[in-house]
Amino acid sequence: MAVGKRYFGANEEVDDATYKKSTRVIKNFFRLVDAFVPSDALPFLRWLDLGVFEKEMKKTGYELDALMQEWLEEHKMKRKTLIDGKANNAGKQDWMNVMLSVLDDNPKLSDYYD
């Protein structure tokens, strides 16, 4: 659970549309990571875009970026609503919370990122 999302389990309320969108985008990402792209081996074939990999990679990249942005905004909203974030959420730190804490703790980094 890198971002604190759980899409299965006995007591979980699952939004079906969000679940399908998230799993589709992540599956497409890993499918494209594993795909053999001829232009990687033979660069002069890039202009052909055999198998329309480049177009599909761009589309998946935009979808993955939107999904991550949505998760980031949710985490920022949760952090703002907590009165004492570190005390109340000490046992529930996921990867995204840790990364946001690093940005909060290091003022040099927070100058570069939103």
**pLDDT per position as a tens digit, 84-112:** 555 555 567 788 888 888 887 887 776 76
CA distance 47 to 91: 51
> % helix / strand / coil in the chain, to the nearest 5?
70, 0, 30
| pTM as predicted | 0.72
CA distance 37 to 57: 11
Burial of 6: CB neighbours in 10 Å, binned 0-12, 13-18, 19+: exposed
What pLDDT is attached to residue 4? 65
What pLDDT is attached to residue 75? 85
37-67 pLDDT tens trace: 888 888 888 888 777 888 899 999 999 999 9
